[in-house]
Chain A
Amino acid sequence: MASSLQRFALCLAIIALMSRAAPADQPHRFVLVRNAKNPTTHMSLETMKAVYSGRTTTWSNGDMLVVVIGPEDSPAMAWLADTVFNVSAKTLLIRIKQQVFRGEMPHPITAADDGAAIAAIAAQPNLVGLVSEAAAKALPSGVAVIASE
């Protein structure tokens, strides 16, 4: 029962987030977010690159690190590919797929948008993902920002 209420509250928070989405003509910026139970509060750009390329696959406690990614045409994926890797979203997605197929990287979870990414991360402590700065300003209590260094 408590779990259902939590999920209902989470859904309400996400709906509220969606109504505050940035206007389309504003450039999107994205921040890393984590499950609030995860103690990692900072991450360098190099570490972020290592995480999304499958070179770093564990958290400091040893648990498997699983990334949440957007679809190929999502703003989050475009931002990640362009800003962190300097490649197209298609190229980055293929690299991730290949690392997964090699068995070197846990299968990522695909989230259609900020709300879906937040919901997934709230449910699993070992996930990390990108959400827009606008969404990061109103995160539910189970999700927190990872500051970039």
Chain B
Amino acid sequence: MSARVGAIIAVACMAGSARGDTVINFFGDVDYYVDHHGDTTNTFQAPDLDIFAMQTDGKFAFVGELLVEAFGQNTFDIDADRLEVDYKPLAWLHFRAGRIRSAFGYYGDAYQNGKFFMLTALWPEMYEGNGFDGIVPSHTVGLHADASRELGNDVGRITLDAEVLNGRGPNLDTVTVYQDQGNHKGIDLRARYVGEGALDGLIVGANMYIDRIESDLNVGEEHPAEAELILGAHAVYMGDRAHVITEAAWFRDRDVVTQTLYETIAAFGEFGYGFGDYMPYLRFEYLHIGSPDPYFVASGFPTYDHEIVTAGAKYTATASVAFKLQGSVTVQPTMNDYRALAQAAFAF
């Protein structure tokens, strides 16, 4: 009794100042890889530490996310992955400004950097590959607005997201946080149906993204100025036991001088079914390169068609710790690439 009373008194005495408190969360993962490339065919990795904080005040909120990351190298870099101010004047209207995850597709702003929440151990390649950033423009700086309208009778709602962004940087890895590459701005639009009632857990959506990529003349990273159009679609179902995510995107980049077209299609389907705390999963990814896009090539993105098949299982040990074990094969024109991975992901 005395311990409980002590705790109550402590909380009661602190409660007056609770409004000013900011809760900090930590996300990250520790991995062990086995593959068959290079001199080192197995390695431990502790590549990410994600420090997340949110503070609300009336209709405003601030979200800050610092990512300490060893991405394709043995040194850590610090990146402000999210730095946004939110304003929600009405229950159905929401604005964001700052460095944000773009509202493109499903995976990017559903999981942010939280591998703990992801079913698989790694991102789909269209979002992030092995040591290179994905071709979906998911990190950006600018303004975001979203609105939703209930359809009534527990049918669901329609949501619309609109963003004006600095858009693509000089390469896939660079986010133009300080200065845009040019005066053109990227425009991102997303429309969704979000199910409720009998269709609770269903999300069906489509995207259109328009941007202008400025030319880069740096040796080894050269690419021309391109006008970009991306069309995307996604269908998701998150039930109590079933997990289904499907996404596809068509990238059409046009050289603004020569008018040469570069087309890329990326798609994946991810499926899981839960048995208590265990969820086995399967993911199939497809990448078709119509003609290699110099902008993607300059950033190290693969230049050939390939498919990736991943199978594994996730065990959610607690509300803060999950373990995953998966194997994958990349089917490509030359030798196939095999990889196994064990991961401990946490969210404290």
Contacts and interface: CB of A to CB of B under 8 A. Distances in A.
Interface residues of B, number: 45
Contacts of A102: 109-110, 112
B18 A103 contact: no
A103 B8 contact: no
B12 A94 contact: no
B16 A98 contact: no
Contact of A94 (B19, B111, B117): B117
A107 interface: yes
A90 B4 contact: no
Given A100-B54, A103-B82, A115-B4, A7 B12 contact: yes
Nearest to A85: B240
Interface in B1-58: 1, 4-5, 7-9, 11-13, 15-16, 18-19, 23, 25, 27, 52, 54, 56-58
A11 B8 contact: yes
Contact of A93 (B12, B88, B319): B319
A105 B13 CA distance: 26
Nearest to A120: B15
B77 interface: no
A124 B16 CA distance: 8
A147 interface: no
B246 interface: no
Contacts of A119: 8, 11-12, 15
Contacts of A46: 154
A115 B8 contact: yes
B18 A94 contact: no
A136 interface: no
B240 A72 contact: no
B15 A64 contact: no
A22 interface: no
Contact of A72 (B61, B109, B319): B319
Contacts of B114: 98, 101
A58 interface: yes
Contacts of A91: 240
A64 B109 contact: no
Interface string A9-29: 011001100100000000000
Nearest to B84: A103
A106 B18 contact: no
A63 B90 CA distance: 9
A34 B213 CA distance: 51
Nearest to B90: A62
Interface string A93-126: 1100110111100110101110110011011100
B112 A101 contact: yes
Nearest to B52: A101
B16 A116 contact: no
A13 to B, nearest CB: 10
Interface of A: 3, 7, 10-11, 14-15, 18, 46, 56-58, 62-64, 66, 72, 86-87, 90-91, 93-94, 97-98, 100-103, 106-107, 109, 111-113, 115-116, 119-120, 122-124
Given A107-B56, A122-B15, 12 more contacts: A18-B8, A62-B91, A72-B319, A93-B319, A101-B52, A103-B86, A106-B54, A106-B56, A109-B18, A113-B7, A119-B12, A124-B19
